[in-house]
Every structure is written in C-alpha cells, then in structure tokens.
Structure 1
Amino acid sequence: MVTDALAPTLPTERSRPVSAPTYLLSVAIPVYNEKNTLLQILERIRAVPVPMEILLVDDGSTDGTRELLKNEVEGVWDNVRVLYHPQNRGKGAAIVTAIGAAAGDYLVVQDADLEYNPEDYPRLLAPLLSGEAQVVYGSRFAGKVENMQPANRLANFLLTTTANLLFPRARLTDEATCYKMFRMDVLRQFTLHSQRFDFCPEVTAKVLKRGIKIHELPIAYRARTLAQGKKIRPTDFLQAMLTLLKYRFFE
C-alpha cells in the first residue's frame, strides 16, 4: 500500500518543466589564418540562444591560428569540436569536412571573421523549424550592407543574376552569401566537390536543380578589406560563374 507521503504527484501546469529543444544546429566554420577574430566570433556565436554544436575546421593555418585552437579552444568548450586539415585545401573543402562530421538537424555556414552577425541565426532557423522551408539564405542585399567595395558588389550582382537566369524560379537576391542554412537531410542528398569558394554556386545549383526553393531573409553585413584579411579574389568570381554553368547543364 502506498501512503499519501510517498504517493506520486502529477505536475501542475506551473510545476511542469519546460520542454528542452528537440533540434540541434551545427555551425560549420572554415578557418584559415583568422587568429585576430576567431575568439571574438566564437564568443558571439556562443551567446546566441540556440542549441548548437560548433565545428571548426582549421584549413592549414600558418599564422598561429592552429596553436590558438589547440591552446584556447579545443577541449575548453563542450559544444565545440576542432578538425584539422594538414595543409590548406580551401573554404569549400573545409565546409565539406564539417558537413561530414556534423551531428545536427540543421547546418549553417559561418565565416571566422566578423562580417556576419550570428544574432541572425534564430530568424534564419524559424522557417526551417516551422516546416516552411528546407533551405534558407541570409540576404545581405535585402538587409543592410556596409563597406562593400564596388567591385565586390558588382561580382555579387552578376553571380545572383546568372543564378536567376539559369534557374528562373529562384528569384534570389544574394547567391554568394555565407549564411546558408540547410535541413541536414536535404544537404546530405548532394555529393559536394567544392574546394574553394565554389561551394556557394555548387550547392546553390544543386539545391535549385532539385526543385527546392531557397527561402531568403534579410541580414546585416559589414565587409572587411583585403588588408583586414579578406581572401576572395577575382579568379574566385570566374570560378563561381563556371561552377553555376557546370552544375546547371552538365552534372
């Protein structure tokens, strides 16, 4: 017989615990020679109230970034994993490595500099969590852009225009944005071959070729200069254009 003192009690509405989040966001961060901004961007990411794992892929850094990761990041935070490429292979290769290691339900690409604001994560996640979208891009040009050089703005316009011409239903405003967020089961449908900055046009073309709509939301963006460490070059623009054409017509 169970006495009143030992009898189980049903939780009231007030006492019932709040359900824990049932999803995990994987934040994929390719890192190459970013020792000056790495810790700051990690602090910004970790301050975002989203259940996440952070996947840092050091792509053969030579400026002390690798030592910084080993001494001040790896093993220090329980939601951070660090992966290493023995030599520099490119941003796309680092993202593909992160995708292969990710355990999340969703994945977002995050640069290791301070151009993008992780506070945008919850808004980008919302249409994925609601089922409204499978892929979400954060659009700089639908939001706020600061300090972008005219040549970079033109290159972004031409890439986006080309993507819209090749895939007329796309109606994108920012094909080359870093902030690309995916349902993981959708992302893993694609075999990705990117090594450098061609990740963006390759994944964009493969998503659109499958008939998957890319949902765009405005974000804030503050560009850095070449002197501050910006790495993309004119040759990367040409490679991106060729990649869009390649995956639209040949693969």
Structure 2
Amino acid sequence: MQLPVVRKLSIVIPAYNEGKTIHYILDRIKSVQLIHNIEKEIIIVNDCSTDDTEEAVQRYISNNPDLNIQYYKHEKNQGKGAALHTGIAKATGDYVVIQDADLEYDPHEYNILLQPVVDGHADVVYGSRFMGGNPHRILFFWHTIGNKFLTFLSNMFTNLNLTDMETCYKLFRRDIIQNIQLKEKRFGFEPEVTAKVARVPGVRIYEVGISYYGRTYEEGKKINWKDGFRAIYCILKYNIWDRD
C-alpha cells in the first residue's frame, strides 16, 4: 500500500464576533507541530462580524508574519456554513480541517485526526466528542441527547456508524470536499456534508476520539434548538429529496 503524501493542512476558521478570543485559538494553532512536518495554511473567513474581529485578525497577522494566514470577509452576514463554503473553496492544502474560532476544540489534536490519513487508511476523519478517554466539559444534557439523536437519524440514512455527526472537527481530502456542492449556509452544514460525503464512491471515513471544552451561552455559544430542527430537515432533505 502506497502511503499518501500530505504536505499541507488547510485549517478553515469561520468567525463571527470572536474578536475577544480569536487570538487564543490562533496561538494554539501556531504552537502545534504537525506530524511528518506537515505545513499549516490558516484560512479565516469573517462572516460580517459586528465587533473587532477584523482588527484582531489583522493585528495577529501583522505580529506573526511567519504564519501562513489567509483572511477573507463577507460583506453581509450569511451564516457559518457560508463561511465554510468560502474557506473550503480557497483551501490549497492536501487536506482540509474545520476549526471553530472559539476554544471548544483543541488544535493540538489535529495529529489525532491526521494519523489515519498518513497511515494510508482514511480520506475523511471525524473527531468524536463521545468516544475515547479525552477530557470533556460537562454541560447541557439535552444538547447531548439532541446530538446523539441527530447522529442516529443521520446514520439511518447514510448507513454510517458515526458517534458524533455534529462535531466541528471534520478532516477531508481537499479534492473530495471541493468537489461536493454544498448549499447550507448555517448549521445545516454538518448533516449536509455528512450525507454527501457518504455517497462519494469508495470514500474511506474514519472516526477518532477528541477532547471537548464546551462553552455556555454566556461564554458565546451560538447554536440553539431551532438549529436542531433545521438539522433534522437537512438530514431528510439531503438523504431523500435532494441527492445531487
């Protein structure tokens, strides 16, 4: 078996009103030494923030000229999914990983996601908050039940056995994700991309356990119960009605 050559990882960060914390996540990304000396490309998409996110990013870029940061912004707020569409389209790495701008996920675990890839096993890797022995902040019972229900429903249609479809940490081979036509502009990205990547002929999907440092709503968490109902709709839509 010929092992894949992974030279560069594109890290796509959708940002909306993350001016107070985005430098923390960028510091963590900067400090990560990727396995096999894989290069990092950081792509930040500012989804028309109303705070000082743009100033914070530009300041960080000026203070860290050695870091490969590409910055884009939407002139109108379109949603997390739309920001991901922009970032994915701009990616030039061999693989693409999604990174929220908050502090809920630990960039030092990119290597956990990359390991099945560099070992020659995986094309797509999901980081599960519900498997493995890594730290998890204890929050929101009903969110956990909701996430597990959405994963179960998604698995019914995709015939995958994921434990965490709604996870932020998803790693894709760039040619696969860039060839998928994505439509959802808000939090419907997760069920849509899962439905569509599951239909890619011969795709090898793996799942690894990751840590989770969840935020409360007071700390800036944005997803709510309405997004859960949208996710149910998207699972049905992209597995039954809209299979393009």
Alpha-carbon distance in structure 2 between the residues aligned to 1:35 and 1:24: 27
Alpha-carbon distance in structure 2 between the residues aligned to 1:22 and 1:245: 35
Aligned residue identity for 1:24: K
DSSP 3-state at the match of 2:131: strand
Instruction: Answer yes or no: is 1:244 the counterpart of 2:235.
Output: yes
Which residue number corresponds to residue 33 of structure 1? 17
CA RMSD of aligned residues (A): 1.5
Query: Which consecutive unaligned segments of at least 5 residues does structure 1 have?
Result: 1-20
Deviations 1:4-49 (A, max 9, x none): xxxxxxxxxxxxxxxxx85100000000001121001000011111
Alpha-carbon distance in structure 1 between the residues aligned to 2:176 and 2:6: 18
Instruction: Answer yes or no: is 1:60 the counterpart of 2:48.
Output: yes
DSSP 3-state at the match of 1:221: coil
Residue 214 of structure 1 deviates from its aligned partner by 2.2
DSSP 3-state at the match of 1:81: strand
Residue 90 of structure 1 deviates from its aligned partner by 0.5
Which residue number corresponds to residue 155 of structure 2? 164
Change (3 A) 1:171 1:61: same
Alpha-carbon distance in structure 2 between the residues aligned to 1:71 and 1:37: 13
Aligned 1:182-193 pairs, distance under 5 A: 182-193=172-183
Residue 208 of structure 1 deviates from its aligned partner by 1.2
Change (3 A) 1:163 1:213: farther
Residue 189 of structure 1 deviates from its aligned partner by 2.1
Change (3 A) 1:72 1:131: same
Residue 73 of structure 1 deviates from its aligned partner by 2.6
Contact 1:74 1:80 in 2 (8 A): no
Deviations 1:186-235 (A, max 9, x none): 11221111201111111000011235342000000011001100000111
Aligned residue identity for 1:82: Y
Contact 2:105 2:213 in 1 (8 A): yes
Alpha-carbon distance in structure 2 between the residues aligned to 1:98 and 1:74: 21
Alpha-carbon distance in structure 2 between the residues aligned to 1:136 and 1:146: 22
Which residue number corresponds to residue 69 of structure 2? 80
Which residue number corresponds to residue 198 of structure 1? 188
Which residue number corresponds to residue 145 of structure 2? 154
Larger CA Rg, structure 1 vs 2: 1
Q: From 50, 53, 57, give the equivalent of 1:69.
A: 57
User: Which contiguous aligned blocks of 4+ residues in structure 1 show a shift greater than 4 angstroms?
Assistant: none
Question: Among the aligned pairs, what percent are the same residue?
Answer: 43
Contact 1:209 1:248 in 2 (8 A): no
Aligned residues: 230
Change (3 A) 1:179 1:145: same
Which residue number corresponds to residue 92 of structure 1? 81
Contact 1:31 1:57 in 2 (8 A): yes
Contact 1:53 1:80 in 2 (8 A): yes
Between Structure 1 and Structure 2, the one with more helix by share is 2
* TM-score normalised by structure 2 residue count: 0.90
DSSP 3-state at the match of 2:19: coil
Which residue number corresponds to residue 207 of structure 1? 197
Residue 146 of structure 1 deviates from its aligned partner by 1.1
DSSP 3-state at the match of 2:85: helix
Contact 2:17 2:51 in 1 (8 A): yes
Contact 2:29 2:107 in 1 (8 A): yes
Alpha-carbon distance in structure 2 between the residues aligned to 1:71 and 1:79: 14
Which residue number corresponds to residue 224 of structure 1? 215
Alpha-carbon distance in structure 2 between the residues aligned to 1:188 and 1:159: 25
Residue 87 of structure 1 deviates from its aligned partner by 1.8
* TM-score normalised by structure 1 residue count: 0.87
